[in-house]
């Protein structure tokens, strides 16, 4: 508050100085009718404002899209493991930031496994992977009721290959926004 | 000389001049025994299981030779006779209990049965059949001849469904099972089906069913969502399974005849999976994962009530399978460590301590899942691997607590065994160089045959016997 008041007074002082300086110049020629320059200037100002608004809108949309992408970004797991990998922590922390800023948003966490091992055991493994991420969110202070977990086991691979590259892509959690998708707030974007 | 007390196969063996003839049919099986000292065997790697010795014990059993004389027809029955004969011949071959002589172009000796001639051919048993037209239906008169003793052992009349009826083949399968029972006194498995899940042409995973001989592949569901882990009710009329058809994962139950399906609502959070019927047909046992905990629960399907917890813990208990008397339960659990699931057996009433039946050795790893309790005998089939080896089908002797295992596969990867109603065969999913398929292994001879190939089946479950002959009129 104090800062803002100070800024306003400084700006006001500057304007005063500027206008004082202008008064020393010779008076502009008086013309009948509208001043073409000032019309152009107004139009330019309006265009500039519109451009700025559009830019601002685009920036906000991009930030919103980034927040949405942060929410749905996948995390990956090691073979037969449900522990959160260190490279997944950053991805999950960004989700936490968006979720904190967007209390209306609810997520479904879908656990998946690669094709190795038995179909039924991999259902359980996928469910552990989904649960591990829900625990991460709960530990970060988010309400458990905002998250629905389920497992598709090995039945819905992203990559069809039978090699480590494909398997690594298939050992994952996916995220679906189930509520509040139109009420996503960009974290730290309030001012 | 051959008269007198009729004993079983030992007598035949002697009368035929010893086991030499039988050797061809008897396939060697390796009995795997866990070595007494685990540490000594720990150096072995990448075989299943790690700490076992292959003793190379070869079981030879006498396999009788069975001949089928081309079926004849009367009153228009000849139009159907070859079809009936072909189904029975294949069923008896797939029973793996006989050396088959079934491609004989003509009945030797013309009209009557010339036992001397069949004896020279080496047949122990002979099956003859005559199909008689009866209005627009047919009757099969079947005879089982004991060639060694030169006499008719069994004779029966079976009325057949119309040849274009849906249950025509199944009715013949039931007759094949009668022939097996006549000769061996044991149940057959021809009149049964196998349920499994597979990706449909539309790209969703649906339930399918196929007859035990690989015929009649049919799709059961059209849910357009992930559906799997089907389990037959003990009377073969219903299936329980996991499906995401209603959006959330839920256990469903289907009345097969009408395809009518309902969702079982346990009024409980968490994801249910791996349902299986209690042998009484009135309860379903399944795994429920909720939060960090999971456990096995029961639900009374008839009354649609009463969730009851059998196990629970901060691990996964899943894939339950009952002993035939319903008193014990085999299941899979990773309670010893997340990457080393093992097979346990415990009393079906909760509270009992689970015993290991898979070959867990401390610090040695090992991955064993998908147990299925045999319909006869205290044996549990499952699949697993040691360290980073391949997955193979194994059978554990429950009483030996992981100390005695039989390994049935040695090629590719092999998963999800399920017992046939004869207690002798297992169906499983096999992966070979050329792709995936559904295979059947005879646990006595070790013989393996594909049922379906070129498809990617998942989690098969073999049905109980689905048809029996209606009190055939015996005529001997």
Per residue in A5-51, pLDDT (tens digit) is 444 444 444 444 444 445 566 666 665 666 778 888 999 999 999 99
Q: Is B46 exposed, middle or buried (0-12, 13-18, 19+ CB in 10 A)?
A: exposed
User: Please, what is the angle between helix A36-72 and helix A86-101, to 10°?
Assistant: 130
Using only C-alpha atoms, chain A has a radius of gyration, in whole angstroms, of 28
Tell me if chain A has a CB within 8 Å of the CB of B388: no
The nearest CA of chain B is from the CA of A111 a distance in Å of: 12
For B228, the closest of A124, A125, A155 (CB atoms) is: A155
CB-based contact B318 A123, cutoff 8 Å: yes
CA distances from B347 to A151, B145, B381 (A): 29, 46, 18
Pairwise CB contact (< 8 Å): B459 & A149: no
pLDDT of residue B110: 59
Residue B459 in contact with partner chain A when CB distance is under 8 A: yes
- Return residues 189-218 of B near A (CB < 8 Å): 205
Q: What length does chain B have? A: 476
B chain contacts of residue A152, beta-carbon cutoff 8 Å: 226, 244
pLDDT score recorded for residue A36: 79
pLDDT of A2 reads: 45
Which value, in Å, is the radius of gyration of the alpha carbons in chain B? 24
Would you call B289 an interface residue with chain A, using a CB distance cutoff of 8 Å?
Answer: yes
Residue at B320 is within a domain: no
Mutate to test the interface with B, among A81, A112, A121, A152 (most CBs of B within 10 A): A121
CA atoms of B59 and B31, how far apart (whole Å): 9
Which domain covers residue B76, as residue numbers? Answer: 65-188
In-domain check, residue B109:
yes
What distance in Å separates the CA atoms of residue B198 and residue B196, rounded to the nearest whole number?
7
CA nearest to B447, candidates B418, B412, B397, B410: B410
Return the residue in A79, A124, A152 with the most chain B beta carbons within 10 A, the one to mutate for interface testing.
A124
Kindly state whether residue B463 falls inside one of the protein's structural domains: no
Contact A127, A150 (CB under 8 A): yes
So what's the pLDDT on residue B57?
Answer: 40
CB B85 within 8 A of CB B71: yes
Give the one of A117, A120, A155 whose C-beta lies nearest to B318's C-beta.
A120
Would you call A61 an interface residue with chain B, using a CB distance cutoff of 8 Å?
Answer: no
CA B258, B190, B164: angle at the middle one, nearest 5?
Answer: 55
**C-beta atoms of B316 and A156 within 8 A:** no
- Ordered strands of the B305-309 beta sheet: B271-277, B283-290, B293-300, B305-309
CB atoms within 10 A of CB A69: 11
Q: Of A108, A112, A82, which is closest to residue A95 (Cα–Cα)?
A: A108
Q: Return the C-alpha torsion angle B274, B280, B283, B284, nearest 10.
A: 10
Nearest residue of A to residue B366 by CA position?
Answer: A117
DSSP character at residue A26: P
Note the pLDDT of residue B34. Answer: 37
The confidence score (pLDDT) of residue B102 equals 75
pLDDT of residue B12: 52
Domains parsed from chain A with CATH numbers: 64-179 (3.30.1330.60)
**Residues near A162 by Cβ (< 8 Å), separated by ≥ 6?**
A115
- Does residue B110 lie in a domain region? yes
Q: Is residue B37 part of a domain?
A: no
The helix/strand/coil state of A152 is strand
Of residues A117, A124, A128, nearest to B367 (C-beta)? A117
**Cα distance between residue B190 and residue B187, in whole Å:** 10
Q: Which two tokens stand for residue A117?
A: 């091992």
Residue whose structure tokens are 């898979």: B358
The pLDDT of residue B7 is: 42
A120 in contact with chain B, both atoms CB, cutoff 8 A: yes
Please tell me whether residue A35 adopts helix, strand or coil conformation. Answer: coil
* CA separation for the pair B35, B50 (Å, rounded): 10
Residue B157 lies in a domain: yes
Q: For residue A8, what are its two tokens?
A: 């306003």
| B334 contacts A124? CB cut-off 8 A | yes
Judge contact between B156 and B174, C-beta under 8 A.
Answer: no
B283-290/B260-263 β-pairing: unpaired
The residues of chain B scoring below 50 in pLDDT are 1-11, 13-60, 476
HEC assignment per residue over chain B: CCCCCCCCHHHHHHHCCCCCHHHHCCCCCCCEEECCCHHHHCCCCCCCCCCEEECCCCCCCCCCEEEECCCEEECCHHHCHHHHHHHHHHHHHHCCCCEEECCCCCCCCCCCCCHHHHHHHCCCEEEEEEEEEECCEEEEEEEEEECCCCEEEEEEEEEECCCCCCCHHHHHHHHHHHHHHHHHCCCCCCCCEEEEEEECCCCCEEEEEEECCCCCCEECCCCCCCEEEEEECCCCCEEEEEECCCCCCEEEEEECCCCEEEECCCCCCCEEEEEEECCCCCEEEEEEEECCEEEEEEEECCCCEEEEECCCECCCEEEEEECCCCCEEEEEECCCCCCCCEEEEEECCCCCCCEECCCCCCCCCCEEEEEEECCCCCEEEEEEECCCCCCEEEEEEHHHCCCEEEECCCCCEEEEEEECCCCCEEEEEEEECCEEEEEEEECCCCCEEEEEECCCCEEEEECCCCCCCCCCEECC
Tell me if A123 and B205 make a contact (CB, 8 A cut-off).
no
In a domain, B300, yes or no: no
Q: Does A108 touch chain B (CB under 8 A)?
A: no
CA distance A151 to chain B (A): 8
Between A165-174, A182-191, B346-355, B393-402, the lowest mean confidence (pLDDT) is in: A182-191
Residue B235 domain-assigned?
no
Separation of alpha carbons A78 and B341, rounded Å: 17
Instruction: Give me the residue label for tokens 């079947």.
Output: B142
Chain A residue whose CA is closest to B274: A120
In chain B, the percentage of residues whose pLDDT exceeds 90 is 69
Nearest CA in chain B to A148: B270
Model pLDDT for residues A104-158, shown as the tens digit of each residue: 999 999 999 999 889 999 999 999 999 999 999 999 999 999 999 999 999 999 9
CATH number at residue B94: 3.40.50.10070
Q: What is the largest CA-CA distance in chain B?
A: 74
**Alpha carbon separation from B205 to A55, B264, B466 (Å, rounded):** 47, 20, 25
Of B249, B334, B369, the CB nearest to A120: B369
Higher pLDDT, residue A4 or B393: B393
Domain tally, chain B: 1
């Amino acid at each position: 508050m104090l800062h803002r008041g100070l800024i306003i007074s400084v700006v006001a002082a500057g304007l005063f100085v500027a206008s004082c300086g202008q008064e020393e110049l010779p008076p502009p020629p008086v013309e009948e009718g509208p001043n073409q320059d000032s019309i152009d200037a107004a139009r330019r100002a309006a265009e500039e404002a519109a451009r700025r608004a559009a830019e601002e809108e685009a920036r906000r949309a991009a930030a919103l899209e980034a927040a949405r992408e942060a929410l749905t970004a996948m995390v990956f797991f090691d073979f037969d493991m449900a522990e959160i990998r260190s490279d997944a922590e950053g991805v999950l922390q960004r989700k936490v930031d968006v979720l904190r800023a967007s209390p209306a948003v609810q997520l479904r966490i879908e656990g998946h496994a690669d094709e190795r091992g038995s179909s039924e055991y991999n259902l359980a493994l996928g469910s552990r992977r989904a649960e591990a991420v829900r625990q991460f969110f709960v530990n970060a202070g988010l309400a458990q009721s905002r998250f629905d977990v389920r497992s598709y086991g090995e039945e819905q691979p992203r990559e069809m290959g039978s090699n480590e590259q494909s398997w690594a892509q298939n050992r994952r959690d996916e995220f679906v926004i189930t509520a509040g998708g139109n009420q996503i707030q960009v974290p730290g974007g309030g001012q | 000389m051959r008269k007198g007390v009729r004993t079983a196969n030992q007598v035949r063996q002697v009368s035929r001049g010893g086991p030499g003839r039988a050797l061809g049919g008897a396939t060697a099986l390796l009995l795997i025994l866990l070595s007494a000292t685990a540490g000594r065997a720990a150096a072995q790697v990448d075989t299943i299981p790690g700490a076992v010795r292959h003793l190379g014990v070869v079981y030879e059993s006498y396999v009788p030779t069975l001949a089928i004389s081309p079926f004849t027809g009367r009153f228009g029955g000849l139009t159907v006779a070859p079809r009936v004969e072909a189904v029975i011949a294949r069923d008896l071959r797939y029973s793996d209990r006989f050396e088959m002589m079934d491609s004989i172009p003509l009945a030797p000796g013309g009209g009557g049965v010339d036992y001397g001639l069949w004896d020279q051919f080496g047949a122990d048993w002979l099956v003859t059949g005559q199909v008689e037209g009866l209005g627009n239906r047919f009757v099969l008169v079947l005879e089982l001849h004991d060639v060694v003793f030169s006499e008719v052992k069994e004779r029966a009349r079976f009325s057949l469904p119309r040849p274009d009826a849906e249950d025509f083949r199944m009715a013949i399968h039931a007759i094949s099972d009668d022939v097996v029972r006549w000769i061996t006194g044991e149940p057959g498995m021809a009149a049964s089906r196998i349920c499994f899940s597979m990706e449909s042409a539309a790209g969703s995973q649906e339930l399918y069913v196929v007859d035990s001989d690989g015929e009649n592949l049919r799709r059961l569901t059209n849910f357009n969502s992930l559906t799997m882990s089907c389990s037959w009710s003990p009377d073969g009329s219903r299936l329980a399974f996991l499906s995401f058809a209603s959006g959330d994962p839920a256990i469903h139950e289907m009345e097969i005849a009408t395809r009518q399906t309902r969702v079982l609502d346990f009024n409980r959070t968490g994801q249910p999976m791996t349902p299986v019927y209690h042998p009484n047909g009135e309860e379903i046992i399944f795994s429920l994962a909720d939060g960090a905990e999971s456990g096995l629960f029961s639900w009374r399907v008839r009354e649609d009530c009463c969730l009851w917890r059998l196990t629970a813990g901060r691990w996964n208990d899943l894939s339950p399978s009952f002993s035939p008397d319903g008193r014990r339960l085999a299941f899979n659990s990773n309670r010893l460590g997340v990457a080393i699931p093992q097979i346990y057996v415990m009393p079906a009433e909760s509270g009992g301590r689970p015993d290991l039946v898979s070959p867990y050795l401390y610090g040695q790893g090992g991955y064993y899942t998908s147990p299925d309790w045999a319909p006869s005998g205290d044996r549990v089939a499952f699949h697993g691997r040691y360290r980073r080896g391949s997955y193979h089908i194994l059978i554990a002797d429950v009483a030996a607590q992981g100390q005695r295992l039989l390994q049935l596969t040695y090629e590719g990867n092999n998963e999800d065994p399920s017992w046939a109603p004869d207690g002798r065969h297992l169906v499983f999913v096999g992966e070979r160089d050329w792709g995936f398929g559904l295979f059947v292994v005879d646990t006595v001879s070790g013989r393996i045959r594909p049922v379906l190939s070129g498809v990617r089946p998942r989690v098969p479950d073999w049905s109980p016997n689905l048809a029996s002959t209606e009190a055939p009129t015996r005529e001997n």
